[in-house]
């Protein structure tokens, strides 16, 4: 990973540090200076803000004091509980924080080598498909010698304040961190994908099977190194940071620092009884104000748990902002959970390995409809298919697919203010098995995401084998911007952008001819196939001018549902299209019959039900079977 990290704004950490040491000066970052511009993009700060280096705030500064912990962090004056909650989650994962804080031992203060310190730090964040290395100086904003933003329990520990400063530099200023999204920070720390879950809409508090399934998924994400957070939606401005009678705070992000099944009972009885409770440990970024309901720190419920089990869970009775809740209570009191999966793409792992494709795209306006790529969502049918289109394959009978689009983050500036996200989303369509050119008419919608003005939108879906097209869009037409599409499948998906509308003209087309018709053939189903008491193991082959499209095998049925499509650009319209049905055998597949289709543009019948014939176009008496076929032909090559 480190070899592929890109210096942010071309600032090379090692070169800058060597230059400072050579000149015997402490680094001052010209791109994020110790001025009001780095604090605010609007309004003006109070007159008492002073930028100070850690050595001027305390006597013995360190990156870490007694290691790194989720207990280190406390939110400051900016409303970035979302960022602090994400940092709390990060601190609990050594493998992850060591990516964000690279070569930390080299960056740590060394009292024995004071001349080796240059007042410069660097941190890694995943942004828009790549890891970036962000360089900062160590000047931090203070009032009365106290850090005004994120700070640690220990006055001489500075890792969280420095990480926050680097993140503020990426965003444009500290004020840009006011009111952000935990999901964004989790992704920026991990390079993973975030999945938001609405607990209220899903009614998880009352649906036990659904709740149990969600807990198992969270347990898997947590055990495989992912990060999770929870929050309670604030409906009104007055709700923001309002404390409920149970001790929880509205409009506030909590880090989930542990997910586990807790064994109830004492001694051997606990093992034989095997009664377990689904438990979640959360942390308030304020470092105080905890849940006061069942299983809170001083709750009598803890008497049901053995001392060894409490020690294993790290149970403490302190007002440190960290507390346990049953998952049922989490679903009852919280409204939203964000799971950030760290997607495993390493073939050396014992866990599931995903195949990932990353593609950069752009929504852009153009007067020519064939070149316009900002068509808006499906509500705008006239322009919807003008958006960017991406094709991918599912090569298993059924596969779990993870799809995420992320729009380019916008920096906040004093002149433009805080960058607002566009409302974005995407639809997925099942298309012809051999599609190579852009869709021009709507096909079967396989799945769709929500549309939201979030930096990223995620969808997990299970789909059958076949070819699909993803259409990422802004909600309204005419909006422009860059986006990143990420597709994760179990087997390589060959995901790529469809750029051409139809077959291109070339020197070969002048010699061999150019297509005169486009025809879409959709084989729906067959009836009357007999091979055994349970039916045939049949499949379809669609043939046209040397090109073939195969369906999957439909096992053990005389009434198979094929639902297979092919699209053909035909140079010889007089030559018929052949649809053959075959029976899969161990030694050699058996030909069951075929139909031939003229498929001309004048044929406007929606569905043809045609009797199967033999190779000589005769109907065999021993197989009174038929196949249902839908055909669409046009002389316009951009009609399908």
**Maximum Cα–Cα distance across the chain:** 98
The per-residue DSSP string of 154-199 comes to: STTB-HHHHHHHHHHHHHSSGGGGTT--HHHHHHHHHS-EEEEEET
- Report the distance separating Cα 107 and Cα 62, nearest Å: 10
* Helix H or strand E segment including 217: helix 208-223
518 CB neighbour count, 10 Å cutoff:
23
Beta strands in 103-139 (DSSP E): 120-127, 130-137
Which is the catalytic residue, given 124, 252, 340, 522?
A: 252
Q: Where are the alpha helices (DSSP H) in 506-582?
A: 507-512
Of the residues 20, 71, 80, 81, only one is catalytic, namely: 81
| Sign of the Cα pseudo-torsion (509, 513, 514, 518, in order) | negative
Rounded-to-integer distance, Cα 587 and Cα 25, Å: 80
Neighbours of 605 (CB within 10 A): 7
Structural tokens at position 97: 């924080």
Q: Which of 82, 433, 12, 438 is nearest to 234 (CA)?
A: 82
The answer to whether 252 is a known catalytic residue is yes
622 contact partners, CB below 8 Å, separation of at least 6: none
Q: Which of 229, 131, 256, 255 is nearest to 189 (CA)?
A: 131
CA 115 centroid distance within chain: 44
Catalytic residue among 284, 344, 387, 583: 284
- Residue in the structure block whose two tokens are 């793409």: 345
What distance in Å separates the CA atoms of residue 183 and residue 340, rounded to the nearest whole number?
7
Q: Is the dihedral of CA 199, 126, 468, 555 positive or negative?
A: negative
- With contact defined as beta carbons under 8 Å apart, do 355 and 493 qualify? yes
* Active-site residue list: 81, 252, 284
């Amino acid at each position: 990973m480190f070899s592929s990290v890109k210096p942010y704004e071309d600032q090379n950490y090692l070169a800058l540090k060597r230059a400072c040491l050579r000149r015997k000066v402490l680094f001052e970052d010209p791109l994020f200076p110790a001025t009001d511009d780095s604090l605010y993009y609007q309004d003006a700060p109070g007159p008492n803000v002073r930028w100070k280096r850690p050595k001027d705030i305390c006597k013995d500064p360190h990156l870490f004091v007694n290691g790194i912990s989720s207990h280190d962090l406390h939110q400051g004056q900016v409303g970035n509980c979302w960022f602090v909650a994400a940092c709390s989650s990060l601190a609990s994962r050594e493998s992850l924080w060591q990516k964000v804080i690279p070569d930390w031992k080299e960056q740590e203060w060394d009292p024995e080598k004071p001349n080796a310190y240059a007042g410069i730090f660097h941190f890694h964040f995943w942004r828009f498909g790549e890891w970036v290395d962000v360089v900062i100086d160590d000047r931090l904003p203070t009032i009365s010698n106290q850090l005004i933003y994120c700070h640690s329990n220990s006055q001489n520990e500075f890792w969280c304040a420095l990480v926050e400063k680097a993140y503020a530099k990426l965003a444009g200023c500290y004020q840009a961190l006011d009111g952000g999204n935990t999901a964004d920070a989790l992704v920026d720390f991990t390079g993973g994908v975030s999945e938001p879950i609405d607990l209220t809409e899903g009614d998880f508090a009352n649906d036990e099977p659904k709740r149990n399934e969600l807990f198992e998924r969270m347990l898997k994400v947590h055990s495989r190194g992912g990060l999770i957070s929870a929050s309670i939606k604030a409906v009104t401005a007055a709700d923001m940071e309002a404390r409920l009678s149970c001790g929880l705070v509205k409009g506030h992000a909590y880090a989930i620092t542990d997910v586990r099944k807790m064994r109830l009972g004492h001694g051997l009885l606990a093992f034989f009884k095997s009664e377990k409770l689904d438990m979640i440990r959360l942390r308030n970024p304020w470092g105080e104000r905890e849940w006061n309901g069942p299983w809170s720190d001083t709750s009598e419920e803890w008497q049901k748990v053995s001392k060894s089990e409490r020690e294993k869970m790290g149970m403490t009775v302190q007002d440190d902002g960290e507390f346990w809740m049953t998952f049922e209570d989490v679903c009852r009191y919280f409204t939203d959970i964000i799971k950030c999966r760290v997607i495993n793409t390493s073939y050396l792992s014992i866990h599931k390995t995903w195949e990932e494709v990353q593609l950069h795209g752009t929504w852009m306006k153009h007067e020519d409809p064939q070149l316009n790529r900002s068509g808006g969502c499906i509500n705008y049918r006239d322009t919807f298919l003008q958006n960017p289109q991406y094709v991918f394959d599912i090569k298993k009978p059924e596969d779990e697919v993870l799809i995420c689009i992320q729009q380019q983050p916008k920096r906040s500036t004093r002149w433009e203010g805080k960058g607002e996200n566009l409302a974005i989303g995407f639809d997925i369509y099942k298309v012809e098995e051999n599609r190579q050119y852009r869709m021009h008419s709507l096909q079967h919608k396989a799945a769709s995401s929500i549309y939201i003005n979030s930096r990223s939108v995620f969808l997990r879906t299970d789909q059958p084998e076949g070819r699909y097209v993803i259409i990422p869009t802004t909600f309204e037409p005419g909006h422009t911007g860059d986006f990143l599409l990420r597709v994760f499948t179990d087997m390589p998906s060959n995901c790529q952008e469809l750029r051409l509308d139809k077959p291109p003209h070339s020197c070969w087309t002048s010699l061999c001819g150019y297509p005169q018709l486009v025809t879409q053939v959709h084989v729906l189903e067959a009836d009357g196939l007999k091979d055994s008491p349970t039916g045939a193991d049949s499949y379809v082959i669609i043939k046209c001018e040397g090109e073939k499209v195969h369906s999957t095998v439909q096992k053990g049925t005389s009434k198979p549902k094929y639902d297979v499509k092919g699209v053909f650009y035909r140079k010889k319209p007089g030559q018929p299209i052949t649809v053959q049905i075959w029976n899969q055998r161990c030694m050699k597949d058996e030909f069951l019959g075929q139909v031939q289709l003229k498929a001309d543009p004048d044929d406007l019948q929606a569905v043809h039900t045609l009797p199967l014939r033999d190779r000589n176009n005769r109907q065999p008496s021993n197989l009174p079977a038929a196949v249902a076929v839908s055909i669409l032909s046009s002389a316009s090559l951009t009609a399908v």
